Chain A
C-alpha cells in the first residue's frame, strides 16, 4: 500500500497576500490544510521598550506606527489612557473632533481592507476604487495635521490645534458622495457568484469560540456577538450619536465583509451627526502643566515660556499608578495599559493589540479548509503586522 505523508510549505514572510511580513507554515494533505502555524515577529521593532525611554508626549508619535493603517485611532487610545492616568478630560469640542477623525479613519482603514482583500481573492477593480476614496480621506487628514498616514494630531488634553476652516465643507462633501461609493462596491462584490463561492462558509468561527479566543472588532461581531466598545463602554461622547452596530450570523468571511461594509456606512452617518452637532469652544484643556500655552503668550510672558520649556524638555507630572484605556479601533479593541512610577516616562507601556489576538485564532479557522481559503481568511481577519509585532 502506498504511504502518504503531509507536505509542509512555507507562506511568507515575503508574499503578496499576507498583508505585511507574516509567515504561515502550512502542513498540507493535498490541497487541504491539516495545520497552520503563524510565525510572527518579522516587524518587531521594540516599540514597548522604546516607549519606556520617552516622555509621555513623545510616545504619541510611536503609536502612529503601530497600526499604520489607522494612525488616528492609535493616537486616541493612547491619549485617553494618559488622560485617565492624570485625571484630566479634554473639552467637548476636542472630543467631537476626535470622534469625527476616528470615524473617518475607520472608513479609510476599511477601504484599504476592502481593496487588498478583494485583490487577494482575485477581484482587482475594488482596489483602485477603494484607494480613490481613501485618498480623499487622507487629503482631509493632511489638511488637518500635515501628515497623511502618521497624524500624531491628538494631544494629552485635547488636540494639537483646531480644524482649519476649509475642513467642514470638504468633509460634508465627502459624506454626501460616500454612500453612493459604497453602493458601487456592493454592486461589484456582494451578489457576485465568484465572491460568494469564495467567501461563504469559509473560515467560520462560533460566537462562544470567538469570545474564548479573545477576538474583537468586526470579526467578533460577524460571529453574532453584539459587542462594540463604542456602545458597551462609550468614550469621547459616543453615547450622544445615533448609529447601529452591524452583526453577522455565521462568522464566515462573507459575514465579515458585510459587517465592515455596513460599518463604513454607519461611520458616515456618525460623521454627519458630529458635523451637525459640533460644539464650539477650546480644543485644549486649560492646564498649563500639561498643555502648551498659546505661542503668542510664550513670546510675551516669562511664565508661559517656562511652562513651554518644561513640558517640551521634561514632560508633565504623572502620579504613581496604573490604568487601562481602550477604544474600538477598526481592527478591534485597542487598549493601552500604562504603569507609572511617578516619573515623566512610562514604567510599562503595554499595548493590547487586537490584530495579535485575532490572528492567534487563525489555526482554528483554516484547519480542514483548502489552501486557497487561507488567503481569504487572513484577509478577512484584517491584520496589520505593525500592531501584531510592535
Chain B
C-alpha cells in the first residue's frame, strides 16, 4: 500500500491532521497534529484495509534546542499486509503532554512509562504513569539533551 493511499485515507477522516508525509529508505512517515493522535491511532487499527493491529515501538526524541522540542514516535505494523508505518507528533518543551494510546494497543503501557521516565513526556489518561527504569525519587529525565551523561 502506497504512502499516498494511507495519507488519503487518513485525510478523508481527519482533514487537518496530517502535517507532513515522507519516505526515506523505504520507510513511510506521517507527521501528525498532536491533538488527534488517539482517534487516528484507533482509526488506523480498526480500518479493515489498513489494520495496523501491532504497535512495534513507541519512543521519545529530544530535539533540543529546537522548538517544538520533543517528538513522540509511534511505529506501527500491519501483520496482515506486512506493512510498517511511522507516526510522529511534536510537543512543546515546556509542558509536553499527549493522549495515551493504551486503550488502542496494550503494548503502549510500559513504552509510554519509559518515555515519561526518560523524557518527562506526560501521557494523559495512562492507567499507571510512573517511572519504570529509575528509582521513584530520581530527579530529572536522563535522555534529555541537557542532562549530563554522568549525572
A–B contact via C-beta, under 8 angstroms? yes
Chain B 38-80: CB-based contact to A (< 8 A → 1; otherwise 0): 0000000000000001111101011000000000010100010
Q: A40-B132, A323-B24, A360-B109 are in contact. Are A49 and B61 (CB under 8 A)?
A: no
Bound CA span A48–B149, Å: 10
* Chain B interface, DSSP helix/strand/loop, else mixed: mixed
Interface residues of B in 19-33 (CB under 8 A from A): 24-25, 27, 29
Contacts of B27 in A (CB 8 A): 322-324
Interface residues of B in 113-140 (CB under 8 A from A): 114, 118, 131-135
Contact partner of B25 (CB less than 8 A), chosen from A87, A335, A347, is A87
B118: nearest chain-A partner, CB-CB: A48
Please tell me if the beta carbons of B57 and A350 are within 8 angstroms of each other in the complex: yes
Within the complex, what minimum Cβ distance (angstroms) separates A256 from chain B? 19
Contacts of A209 in B (CB 8 A): 106
Within the complex, what minimum Cβ distance (angstroms) separates A49 from chain B? 6
B99 interface contact, C-beta 8 A: no
A211 interface contact, C-beta 8 A: yes
Please tell me if the beta carbons of A49 and B107 are within 8 angstroms of each other in the complex: no
Please tell me if the beta carbons of A44 and B109 are within 8 angstroms of each other in the complex: no
Contacts of A214 in B (CB 8 A): 54-56, 105-107
A333: nearest chain-B partner, CB-CB: B56
A213 interface contact, C-beta 8 A: yes
Contacts of A347 in B (CB 8 A): 61
Please tell me if the beta carbons of A49 and B53 are within 8 angstroms of each other in the complex: no
- What are 10 A-B pairs with beta-carbon distances under 8 A? A40-B133, A49-B147, A84-B25, A214-B56, A324-B27, A324-B56, A333-B56, A337-B75, A357-B110, A360-B106
Nearest 5 interchain pairs by C-beta: A214-B107, A41-B133, A360-B110, A44-B133, A352-B57
